[in-house]
Amino acid sequence: MEMVGTITSAIAAVRDRISAAAQRAGRDPSGIRLMAVTKGFPQQVVLDARAAGLSLFGENRVQEAEQKYLDLPGGLELHLIGHLQRNKARAASGLFACVQSIDRAETAEALHAKCEERGRTMDILLELNTSGEPTKSGFLSRRELLAGLESIGRLASLRVRGLMTVGPLSEDRERIHSSFAMLRSVFEELRAGGGLPFFDTLSMGMSSDFEIAIEEGATLVRVGTALFGHREQK
């Protein structure tokens, strides 16, 4: 129970920071979801986080998520936030509530086919590379994302819920603000255009930059280190 108490204290500290950032932006903190990112942490951390009151979790890899979450009881909402390979679409279609990292139409089509086989509809987000960093996934431009959405939006087993990005690896706060503002601009453009009735999620911000993301409009922040400490190096 000692670890549950530690995580409970960390959750309270993160929620305080979320609330302060929301207030600076004139926003209601209740409109911002906190996702616990458990990449690199053992299953016990998931159980402790659940006991501490968290229910929304994110994993970067399908195989690690299978090892950690398949035998857990219900009540958890698990999202894939890392790159999805098409050969992992079958496993992803049965494990996740949402895939946040769709970055090409071909991946969406593979996921749609497996969801269709299961008779389910899955939420997805489209990932945009707003930093320009070649190591990051995502559609490379607004134009590419909009072109991809034309075909992805017709896939009946997928429900496009919003957009996601990973901020730049930088100490330059203005650069980080600019990255998140770019995603928000595309998000607002698509929402204003209609035709996407479930479009309500703007996923951006991690432990190092989630307050900036909230100031720029994030509705979901993905936090690992600030909740659980640093991952063990392998």
Each residue's pLDDT tens digit, 88-111: 999 999 999 999 999 999 999 999
Residue with more model confidence, 176 or 233 = 176
pLDDT at 161: 98
Whether residue 221 contacts residue 56, with contact meaning beta carbons closer than 8 Å, is answered with no
Mean model confidence pLDDT for the chain: 95
* CATH 3.30.450.20 is right for the domain spanning 2-228: no
Band (pLDDT 50/70/90 cuts) for residue 234 is very low
pLDDT number for residue 73:
81
Q: What is the pLDDT of residue 232?
A: 63
Domain ranges (residues) in the chain: 2-228
Amino acid 116: pLDDT: 98
Q: Please compute the mean of the pLDDT values over residues 219-224 and round it to a whole number.
A: 98
* pLDDT on residue 62: 97
Q: Predicted confidence band at 199 (pLDDT cuts at 50, 70, 90)?
A: very high
User: How far is 2 from 139, CA to CA, in rounded Å?
Assistant: 42
- Alpha-helical (H) ranges within the chain are 2-24, 43-51, 62-69, 89-95, 105-118, 142-152, 173-193, 210-215, 225-228
The answer to whether residue 86 scores a pLDDT higher than 60 is yes
The number of residues making up the chain comes to 234
Higher pLDDT, 224 or 73: 224
User: What per-residue confidence (pLDDT) applies to 1?
Assistant: 62
**pLDDT tens digits for 21-33?**
999 999 999 999 9
Say if residue 2's pLDDT is above 90.
no
Q: In the prediction, which pLDDT does 230 show?
A: 85
Res. 75 pLDDT band, cuts 50 70 90: confident
CA-wise closest residue to 225 among 95, 4, 38, 44:
38
Q: Which residue has the tokens 């049965």?
A: 94
Determine phi and psi for 93, rounding to 5 degrees. Answer: -65, -20
User: Is-contact 117 110, C-beta < 8 A?
Assistant: no
Paired tokens of 21: 């950032």
CB 166 within 8 Å of CB 183: no
State the pLDDT confidence band at 231, using cuts at 50, 70 and 90. Answer: confident
Q: Is 126 helix (H, G, I), strand (E, B) or coil?
A: strand
Q: Give the residue-averaged pLDDT of 128-134.
A: 94
